[in-house]
């Protein structure tokens, strides 16, 4: 039987079924909604604008996760200010606590870079030390003159993979001592 001999409705039905099958097994890509993580600044004192700027850095540079400010105490990320060194503690991927430590700020480290770096830990990134200024996760090892708050291509890619549904991050504490 030649193609022109197959009834039109049967050809259309076959085409529809093939499309549905392709979509169901992922042959044809569909856009995945970004995972939304909320952050609470109620304990961030004078650093709220810096945290917002750090969150914006991530929102502008990755697609699979978005950071959204909330006043809820049930936020994914709780941010507080203290007199120590900046640090982050994850409870699971995308969840944890960030401390905006005054000690590094008093030494002259860039506040937006600190915020973006610590949020990077919550997004599943480890420290990369020592490291160049071009690496956000090099943290304090890049030195006080480094003001770059933007993740490099490898850091962006890892966060994208982390929030594509395949990453597992165990509970961890990241302390960025000089």
From the CB of residue 43, how many other CB atoms can be counted at a distance below 10 Å?
15
Measured at the CA of 98, the angle between CA 65 and CA 77, to 5 degrees, comes to: 45
Give the whole-angstrom CA distance, residue 36 versus residue 167.
16
Catalytic residue among 5, 118, 155, 175: 118
C-alpha to C-alpha distances, 170 to 112, 125, 126, 176, nearest whole angstrom: 26, 12, 12, 18
Pick from 116, 97, 105: which is nearest to 40 by CA?
97
Tell me, yes or no, if 5 is annotated catalytic: no
Contact yes or no for 128/97 (Cβ under 8 A): no
Give the single-character DSSP code of 133: T
Q: Which residues are catalytic?
A: 118
């Amino acid at each position: 039987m030649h193609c022109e001999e197959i009834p039109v409705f049967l050809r259309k039905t076959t085409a529809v079924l093939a499309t549905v099958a392709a979509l169901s097994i992922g042959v044809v890509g569909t856009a995945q909604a970004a995972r939304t993580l909320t952050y609470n600044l109620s304990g961030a004192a004078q650093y709220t604008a810096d945290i917002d700027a750090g969150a914006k850095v991530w929102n502008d540079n990755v697609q699979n996760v978005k950071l959204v400010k909330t006043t809820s105490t049930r936020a994914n990320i709780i941010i507080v200010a203290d007199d120590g060194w900046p640090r982050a503690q994850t409870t699971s991927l995308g969840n944890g606590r960030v401390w905006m430590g005054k000690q590094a700020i008093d030494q002259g480290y860039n506040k937006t870079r600190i915020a973006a770096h610590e949020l990077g830990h919550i997004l599943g990134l480890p420290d990369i030390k020592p490291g160049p200024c071009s690496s956000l996760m090099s943290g304090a090892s890049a030195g006080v003159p480094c003001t770059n708050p933007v993740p490099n291509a490898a850091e962006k890619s890892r966060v994208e993979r982390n929030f594509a549904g395949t990453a597992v991050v165990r509970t961890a504490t990241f302390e960025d001592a000089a």
